[in-house]
Amino acid sequence: DWTMASYRQEAIRKIREQVGDRKVICGLSGGVDSSVAAVLIHEAIGDQLTCVFVDHGLLRLNEADEVVTMFRDNYNIPLIHADEADLFIGALEGVSDPEVKRKTIGKLFIDVFQKYAKQIDGADFLAQGTLYPDVIESVSFSGGPSVTIKSHHNVGGLPEKMGLKLVEPLRELFKDEVRALGRELGLPEKFIGRHPFPGPGLAIRCPGEITREKLEILRKADAVFIDQIRKHGLYDDIWQAFVAILPVRTVGVMGDGRTYDFACALRAVTSVDGMTADYYPFSHEFLGETATRIINEVKGINRCTYDITSKPPGTIEWE
Ligand code: XMP
């Protein structure tokens, strides 16, 4: 009879059998999947595991601190915190094409990961939080003609380049099962229930050119929106929610002065697997209150819209 407790024991046994006394590196994204994989592997092989968390400067407010604190303090897992914000933001200067953004970030991510992986002398394995739907998707994609809507940012190709073998202890699991396993491993509930966050981060929520100024504004607005959603008890009903900062300034009036600031769009959707999605039916009161808070609390935004596009025809992210 199948339980998460027995899955955990069996997974640990398999990891020990595969890895033996060799070393494993694991890229952490701050998301649930890679975190659960890391904690599970650490339970199996202890400090033969080192995690690398690449901060590309496109994370949400306080996100890097939260991830690093959880892994260092709660789990005592060896962790390299790679602060490479300047590198990524510099490379993205003047780039506004969505695919060029994604490819620039993907390539730099591999370079940076390789650089830090060298510090872990003699690693033989790369751990990834690959889930069952990821396995299925890549099989069906390679089987027939397909249209690439977006180049997904992951570490594809990296293991071969680095001569590493893969450890993927979540390959048989769906998202809800990964969350159950995370609970079984004692990860904080707030972490387990987190909305998915894309590898390219805030870059794809900032259509047009990315600047530090826009990223700063976007981080603050996003934090207010998520705070509103939590305060109204809606966080767990929503698959994903975020703010996108639009590449346009509009005229407004505040007090007795004219403003000329950025407009933003709120995005919140329900979904089962991210493949299709419906916009979330917030009440008008909620939307009004949120817009007022964002415009009052975030300097640099003076107009707020709500994105009511479902997927298809829209995608969840803006790029
Ligand atoms: P879209 O925008 O394609 O997003 O409707 C579907 C889901 O995938 C996430 N997403 C990504 N996740 N790397 C990721 O790890 C990526 O490059 C990427 N692009 C989109 C998105 O946040 C949503 O949950």
- Per-residue pLDDT for 265 more than 90? yes
| CATH topology match: 4-192 vs 206-306 | no
CA distances from 172 to 112, 153, 189 (A): 29, 21, 22
Q: How confident is the model at residue 136 (pLDDT cuts 50, 70, 90)?
A: confident
pLDDT value of position 135: 80
Query: Residue 139: what pLDDT?
Result: 56
Mutation test residue for ligand 1: of 99, 154, 275, 317, the one with most atoms within 8 Å of CB: 317
* Separation of alpha carbons 47 and 202, rounded Å: 32
Q: What is the pLDDT of residue 143?
A: 44
Q: What is the 3-state secondary structure (H, E, C) of 81-148?
A: EEECHHHHHHHCCCCCCHHHHHHHHHHHHHHHHHHHHCCCCCEEEEECCCCHHHHHHHHHHHHCCCCC
206-306 has which fold? GMP Synthetase; Chain A, domain 3 (3.30.300)
Residue 105 alpha carbon to ligand 1 centre in Å: 14
Any idea where the domains of the chain sit in the sequence?
4-192, 206-306
Which atom of ligand 1 is closest in space to residue 200's alpha carbon?
A: 17
Predicted TM-score (pTM) of the model is 0.91
CA angle 298, 61, 284 (to 5 degrees): 50
Whether residue 226 is predicted with pLDDT greater than 60 in this model: the reply is yes
Partners of 244 in the beta sheet? 265
| 210 vs 255: which has the higher pLDDT | 210
pLDDT digits (tens, 9 = 90+) for 180-222: 999 999 999 988 999 999 999 999 999 999 999 999 999 999 9
| Atom 21 of ligand 1, nearest CA residue | 198
The ligand 1 site (C-beta within 6 Å) comprises 150, 152-153, 196, 198-200, 240, 274, 311, 315-317
CATH superfamily of 4-192: HUPs (3.40.50.620)
